[in-house]
A and B are shown apart, each in its own frame.
Chain A
Amino acid sequence: MSDSICRSEASLTAPIDDIDRAIILATQAGLPLVSDPWAAVGEQVDLSGEEVRRRMALMQEHGVIRRIAAVPNHYRLGYVANGMTVWDVSDEEIDRLGREVARHPGVSHCYRRPRHLPDWPYNLFAMLHGRSRVEVERQAEEIAETLGNACRDHRILYSTRILKKTGLRLAKKTTSRT
């Protein structure tokens, strides 16, 4: 599946129904690691494996599922330096430059966000992952070159402690949406 690059998503709510919602609840903690995972999910939600597969494929097509993938623990793979880099980029050029920054290897998430002047002048966020802070700083240097004069200032905010990490969870209440 392709990356989601530069899409305005505020109004994009995909059509999911209560059956999709049941599939989401059954799989948000993970997909069963068995030969026919669709049938295994189907057993939990009272659907055929084929129907589960059809609905999940459709959800992926609509972007409700970004992809079905392995999510490694950064630290366990040696990626111990995780820096949120934040950049004060000229409003006129941020759309073009944001896309360029997103192409840098090492960038996992890249977003435009609002400034909060005077405390917070940064409007472009790029998460960087490296095996050391030196590696993250090198990646940040490359981004600084890409941004050139369009960037007035930047910072790297390293995470020093995980305070909570429960992930996103749908509540177990059902609401129909159309």
Chain B
Amino acid sequence: MTDVDRHILNRLQDGLPIVERPFAVAAEELDISEATLLERLEALKESGVLSRFGPMYHAERLGGGLTLAAMAIPEERFDAIVEQVNAFAEVAHNYRREHRLNMWFVLATETPERIEETIAAIEAATGYPVYNMPKQEEFHVRLHLPV
């Protein structure tokens, strides 16, 4: 990664303005040409340094349901249960973590009511309880990784 790439990543984690020719505006701030900026972004995406570039939508404001849920799965059953849980389309992310509660996943549903139904379905399918941990207050959502 070059210095220009670093500047681009640092600047564009903060957001692109929604204006005419937005990349030209950002490029000017970065003191590079619009063509260079677009080319570098494409290359960063291609190489996997960028997971994506685009709008970050706010699930609940779209009318959907969103929650974080956890399960405690015995080691010998873990892989089989992962498969069952991941089979639910509503499971958006799922991480293994170091704790007795060793499986942590985000559920995203079309409506808020579907969250409870999905949790009940996962419990029925796996035979293990699901700990529902919906957010009660959001203090901060802002991923910025300086490079």
The residue from A6, A108, A116 contacting B131, defined by CB atoms under 8 A apart = A116
- Asked, given contacts A33-B53, A114-B136, whether A165 binds B58 with beta carbons under 8 Å apart, the answer is no
A4–B18 CB distance below 8 A: no
The residue from B41, B60, B68 contacting A113, defined by CB atoms under 8 A apart = B68
Interface presence of B134 (CB below 8 A) = yes
B41–A33 CB distance below 8 A: yes
Scan residues 23-79 of chain B and give those whose CB is less than 8 A from a CB of chain A: 23-24, 34, 38, 41-42, 44-45, 47-64, 66, 68, 70, 72
B57–A29 CB distance below 8 A: no
Interface presence of B12 (CB below 8 A) = yes
Please report the total number of B residues contacting A with Cβ < 8 Å.
78
B108–A163 CB distance below 8 A: no
- Asked, given contacts A53-B18, A129-B145, whether A110 binds B140 with beta carbons under 8 Å apart, the answer is yes
- B: residues with CB less than 8 A from A are 8-9, 12-16, 18-24, 34, 38, 41-42, 44-45, 47-64, 66, 68, 70, 72, 82, 85-86, 91-101, 103-106, 108, 110, 131-145, 147
- A: residues with CB less than 8 A from B are 1, 3-10, 12-14, 16, 24, 27-31, 33-38, 53, 56-57, 59-60, 62-74, 76-79, 84, 94-95, 98-99, 101-103, 107-114, 116, 119-120, 125, 129, 155, 157-171, 173, 175, 177
